[in-house]
Amino acid sequence: MMKSIVSSKYLACLVGSIILNLLFIINIYVGGQWKLSWSSRAAIEAETVAAIYCSGHGRAYLDGLVVVGNKPVCDCNTCFTGPGCSKFIPHCTANADGGDPLFLEPFWMQHLASSALVVAGWHQMSYTYSGKSFFSEELAKVVRKVHASVRNAVTQNRFIIFGAGSTQVLSAAVFALSPENTSSPAKVVTSVPYYPVDKQQTQYFSSQKFKYEGDAYRWKNRSDCSITNMIEIVTSPNNPDGQLKKAIFHGPNVKTIYDHAYYWPHFTPIPAPSDEDVMVFTLSKLTGHAGTRLGWAVIKDETVFNRMMIHMQMNSMGVSKDAQLRAFKLLNVVLEEGTGIFDFAYQTLKSRWERLVQTVSLSNRFSLQENNPQYCTFYNKVRQLSPAYAWLKCEREEDKDCYAVLEAANIIGRQGNLFGVEDGYVRLSLVRTQDDFDILIERLHKLITEEDGDKTM
């Protein structure tokens, strides 16, 4: 009798629990949609800040500038100021330095809902995923899908590793490809014009394992190259001139790293999927999210992969899980939109390049890099580059310091000598905000027309 009473009580408790849970589910799931509970405050905060009006010349951020009362205020674009960024600053300097890919910001403004992310305070607090890896397997799957969709890299039967931007991944690759037991360090080379960070980073971390040795062409005809350990970093498309490059060195003692940060169809025609031993990519030049600091490498050899993993573990204990989560969300949007982000980015950069060419063509004082059409497998047509940067050359003999010429005209670029060439070149960024680009064109046009006016006088 007692057992029957106890069983009845347990049954009543079970039924009561089920009813309470059903009532809870009904309460939070109304009208075909989940009713927000703990995430509602975060959503309200995010939307409140996003709604702050900045005249189209700036943005307010939850973790950005604040005033009294901790109320976020507008962070204005170059040459704009005031509470709502509505006041233009005359005679300000056009900023064409740096590679902040803010030209993609309008695309994400059009995809607010699909790209938004709300994270619980307890989300992924451990160092690793399921106690095994520092890197998200699901993110790696999405990366493979993106490459398969774009057809810019072979990822089947390859290993993928993540890092804090392509900068850290490149550093890990140099360490992994260096000889383990040798009295002579590997020679790390790049061909001019080269990406400055390759030189700067290799010199900074120089050790008994490797040493930066400058321009690859200086070593091409050396008799000792065949017996010397070489690591060549090939940036393709190249930064600063956007050209598709190939390795100069080949042989059993040569290791090659392909930096494919810009090997996406909005920057360059994709002639074929890249199938190199080590290929490095970055989220910043694909989606524009440079501040997320996430890059990855696609690697053929398991030994190289394992050595890169050890370097990442010793260097930074993996990569921020928050960065990996955001990349996972953004890359899924890229897949959902099909060609959307590439169409938007390509048309934006194509338009900017055409405006720049039209402006520069008004004078013989300056010239730009070659832009030869190639067949693009992504768009299934022949097309030109839509480069991230203009590689501007001052043609006059007296304009030996091209950076100084532009600086005098209120234009800041990046000096040619940083890329291993003479000062007659300057790199101009085409990937910054629309405001930055418009002011750059205005300053260039003024410089050229004033020059023509001087000639007339």
pLDDT tens digit sequence for 336-384? 999 999 999 999 999 999 999 999 999 999 999 999 999 999 999 999 9
The per-residue pLDDT for 190 is 97
Average pLDDT over residues 285-297: 98
pLDDT at 456: 40
Q: What percent of the chain is modeled with pLDDT above 90?
A: 81
Specify the pLDDT at position 225: 62
Domains in the chain (CATH in brackets) are 46-88 (2.10.25.30), 95-104+340-455 (3.90.1150.10), 137-338 (3.40.640.10)
Torsion of CA 273, 427, 360, 271, to 10 degrees: 0
Output the pLDDT for position 256. Answer: 98
Task: Give the whole-angstrom CA distance, residue 168 versus residue 177.
Answer: 14
Q: What is the 3-state secondary structure (H, E, C) of 317-343?
A: CCCCHHHHHHHHHHHHHHHHCCCHHHH
CA distance 127 to 133: 8
Question: Looking at residue 453, what is its pLDDT?
Answer: 55
Distance CA 418, CA 351 (A): 28
pLDDT tens-digit readout, 260-273: 999 999 999 999 99
Q: Does 25 have pLDDT greater than 90?
A: no
Instruction: For residues 341 and 265, give the distance between their C-alpha atoms in angstroms, rounded to a whole number.
Output: 10
Q: Report residue 290's pLDDT band, with 50, 70 and 90 as the boundaries.
A: very high
What integer is the mean pLDDT of 297-302? 98
**How much is the average pLDDT of 322-337?**
97
Q: How far is CA 33 from the centre of its chain?
A: 35
Whether 30 shows a pLDDT value over 90: the answer reads no
Comparing CA positions, the residue from 241, 271, 289, 256 lying closest to residue 389 is: 241
Sheet holding 366-367, edge to edge: 366-367, 389-394, 425-429, 414-415
Kindly indicate the confidence band of residue 18, based on its pLDDT and cuts at 50, 70 and 90.
Answer: low
| pLDDT the model gives residue 5 | 44
Residue 373 CA to residue 269 CA, distance in Å, equals: 8
Asked if residue 303 has pLDDT above 50, the reply is yes
Predicted local distance difference test score (pLDDT) of residue 71: 86
More confident of the two residues 16 and 448? 448
Average pLDDT for residues 302-311, to the nearest whole number? 96
Mean pLDDT score of the chain, rounded to an integer?
Answer: 91
| pLDDT beyond 60 at 19 | no
Q: Does pLDDT of 282 surpass 80? A: yes
More confident residue, 7 or 337: 337
Average pLDDT over residues 280-297: 98
Mean per-residue pLDDT for 402-428? 97
Q: What angle do CA 124, 128, 131 make, to 5 degrees?
A: 105
pLDDT band at residue 68 using 50, 70 and 90 as cut-offs: low
pTM of the complete model: 0.90
| Residue 222 pLDDT greater than 90, yes or no | no
Per the CB < 8 A criterion, the answer to whether 410 and 92 are in contact is yes
Sole residue written with tokens 């390859």? 158
CA contacts within 13 A on the Cβ side of 457: 6
Q: Is the pLDDT of residue 281 over 70?
A: yes
pLDDT reported for residue 6: 43
Q: How many helices (H) and strands (E) does the chain have?
A: 13, 23
pLDDT of residue 208: 87
Burial 200-214 (b: 16+ CB within 10 A, else e): ebbeeeeeebbbbbb
The whole-number pLDDT of residue 24 equals 47
Tell me the range of 36-45, 174-183, 361-370 where mean pLDDT is highest.
Answer: 361-370
Counting residues of the chain whose pLDDT is more than 70, the rounded percentage is 90
Mean pLDDT value across residues 222-228: 67
What's the rounded mean pLDDT across residues 217-235?
Answer: 83
- When pLDDT is averaged across residues 140-162 and rounded to a whole number, the result is 98
